[in-house]
Structure 1
Amino acid sequence: MRRIYFLVPEIATTKKIVDDLLLARIEERHIHVIAKRGTPLEDLPEANLLQKTDFIPAVQQGVALGGATGLLAGLVAVALPPASTVIAGGILLATTLAGASIGSWAGGMIGMTLGNRRIKEFEDKIEAGKLLVLADVPKDRVDEIEDRIRLHLPQVEIMQTEPRIPAFP
């Protein structure tokens, strides 16, 4: 899956884009709209916390950093004299899992407080009244979807396409 960003001038055009994406068999759960706070989106699929924040990337970074820290702590614990080689594997596993768990929790908490880095570049235009549509499409259909949107709605700006989307969009 790849995420395509469309910057749209107003609600009416956004509705046409969402309808066109639905006709192209892109499920509604893969379409997300971000607008200026207080803008009524009516029946448009509003982006949720996972799209608006860096929650998923922060959790992934937390797992990696916490797991590495736990593994390092386990290696230090095993190197100390009272540890035997029989329990060394258990210590390494336990500290790595504990570190990964704490890291993912802390990363998730931090990620929820941060805005999505990819969306930050659009903040000025969103505050000016434009709407940002995020569409998660199969990678082999990106060109087809972009051409379809341009054909029907030439005023829409296709801003960028992410190389990949998070594991849980």
Structure 2
Amino acid sequence: MRRIYFLVPDITATKRIVNELLLARIEEKHIHVIAKRGTPLEDLPEASLLQKSDFVPAVQQGLALGGSTGVLAGLVAVALPPASTVVAGGILLASALAGAGVGAWVSGLVGMSIGNRRIKEFEDAIEAGHFLVLADVSADRVEEIEERVKQHLPEVEIESTEPKVPAFP
């Protein structure tokens, strides 16, 4: 999946773009709208905390860093006392899993409190009253969706496309 960012000038155009995406058979769960705090979105699909925060990238980084730290701690633990290879393998595996779990948990907590780095680029426009529409589409449909939106809604700015979007948010 790839995420396309559309910067939309008003709520009427936002409704039109969401309808256009729905007509293009993009499921509503893959469409997210972000607006200035306090702006009523009516029946538009509002972005959740997962889209508005850096939770997913933070968890990914925490898994990698915590797992690496756990492996290093396990290697140190195995090297110090005399241990058999079976015990050493268990220690190494347990420390890697514990490190990855703790790293993901702590990073996820931090990521939830930090705004999404990609959305920060659009903060000024959102505060000025624009709407940001995020659409998660399969990689082979990105150009088709962008062309369809440009054809029917020329006032909409297609800002960028992320290279990949995690499957679970």
Per the normalisation by structure 2, the TM-score is 0.98
Aligned to 1:54: 54
- Name stretches of at least 5 consecutive residues in structure 2 with no aligned partner: none
Distance 2:91 2:163 in 1: 38
Aligned to 1:159: 159
Q: Is structure 2 residue 121 aligned with structure 1 residue 121?
A: yes
Q: CA deviation at 1:59?
A: 0.4
Once the two structures are TM-superposed, the CA of residue 166 in structure 1 deviates from its matched residue by: 2.0
Q: Deviations over 1:29-67 (max 9, x none)?
A: 000000000000000000001100000000010011000
Look up the match of 1:4: 4
1:39 corresponds to which letter in structure 2?
Answer: T
Kindly indicate whether the alpha-carbon contact (under 8 Å) linking 1:62 and 1:100 is maintained by their aligned counterparts in 2: yes
Q: Report the Cα distance in structure 2 between the residues aligned to 1:79 and 1:21, rounded to whole angstroms.
A: 57
Corresponding position of 2:109: 109
Runs of 4+ in 1 over 3 A off after TM superposition: none
Whole-angstrom CA distance in 2 between matches of 1:140 and 1:92: 41
Q: What is the distance in 1 between the residues matched to 2:81 and 2:30?
A: 54
Q: Larger deviation: 99-108 or 80-89?
A: 80-89
- Residue 14 of structure 1 aligns with which residue? 14
Structure 1: state its 5+ residue gaps: none
After superposition, what is the alpha-carbon deviation per residue over 1:69-112, rounded to whole angstroms, capped at 9, x for unaligned?
00000000000133232300000011000000100000100000
Give the match for residue 71 of structure 1. Answer: 71
Q: How many angstroms apart in 2 are the aligned matches of 1:92 and 1:81? A: 13
Q: Measure, in 2, the Cα distance between the counterparts of 1:111 and 1:167.
A: 18
Offset at residue 138 of structure 1 (A) = 1.1
Equivalent residue for 2:86?
Answer: 86
Q: How many residues are treated as equivalent by the alignment?
A: 169
| Structure 1 residue 167 displacement after superposition | 3.1
Identity of aligned residues (%): 76
SS of the residue corresponding to residue 95 of structure 2 reads helix
CA contact (8 A) 1:77 1:83 kept: no
| Rounded Cα–Cα distance in structure 1 between residues aligned with 2:146 and 2:159 | 11
Mapped partners of 1:36, 1:105: distance in 2: 29
Q: Deviations over 1:6-32 (max 9, x none)?
A: 000000000000001000000000000
- Which amino acid in 2 is paired with 1:4? I
* Letter matched to residue 74 of structure 1: G
The whole-number CA distance in structure 1 between the counterparts of 2:165 and 2:85 is 42
